Amino acid sequence: MSLAHALLAEIDHEAKTTQRVLERIPEDKVNWKPHPKSMSLGELGMHIAYAPLVLSEVAVKDLHEFGSSPKMPPPTRQAILDTFAASTQKVKDVVGSFDDTRMASTITMTKDGKTIMAIPRAAFIRNIMMNHIYHHRGQLSVYLRLLDVPVPSIYGPSADEKPA
């Protein structure tokens, strides 16, 4: 089994879980923030939705120069869900195109011409792309709890949902 094939299985599994969490975003609370320094609920949801797309575009390059962040659509629940669906498909297409040699090759990321990070492509996909999304999904589940929105099962039962 190729490394890409193994990662795709995880991407598929985790995308279903992330979808369930994103579906719980209440439309009337997209501007809510738990703290003034925090992203709003909608911004966090859109960040989770958009990250796979942006990071999959980085993953195909051998050299990536960081610039300004891309402009995202206004964070409505439907925009978040649509963006996540498109992003997930894009990341699956990109990861599925890599053989093990390409996965072992290095991505170098720079800012103003200075190297910030040089990392094997597989490690970038695992650590920067996938774990980054899981981290923010965890934040989103806390936002939902603070808003008294039922939190879906993620890696087992939640206080609100007990999967069979």
- 70-124 per-position pLDDT tens digit: 777 778 999 999 999 999 999 999 999 999 999 999 999 999 999 999 999 999 9
Instruction: Round the average pLDDT of the chain to a whole number and report it.
Output: 93
Q: Does 43 fall in a domain?
A: yes
For residue 106, the number of C-alpha atoms closer than 13 Å in the C-beta half-sphere is 7
Q: Does 158 fall in a domain?
A: no
Chain segment 130-152, per-residue pLDDT in tens: 999 999 999 999 999 999 999 99
pLDDT band at residue 164 under the 50/70/90 scheme: low
* 8 A C-beta contact, residue 66 and residue 116: yes
C-alpha angle 146-51-139 in degrees, rounded to nearest 5: 20
pTM score, whole prediction: 0.92
Q: Provide the residue range defining the domain that includes 122.
A: 3-146
Q: Which CATH number fits the domain that encloses residue 102?
A: 1.20.120.450
Q: Does 152 fall in a domain?
A: no
Q: Does 118 fall in a domain?
A: yes
DSSP class of 29: G
Q: Does 121 fall in a domain?
A: yes
Q: Does 161 fall in a domain?
A: no
Structural domain count, the chain: 1
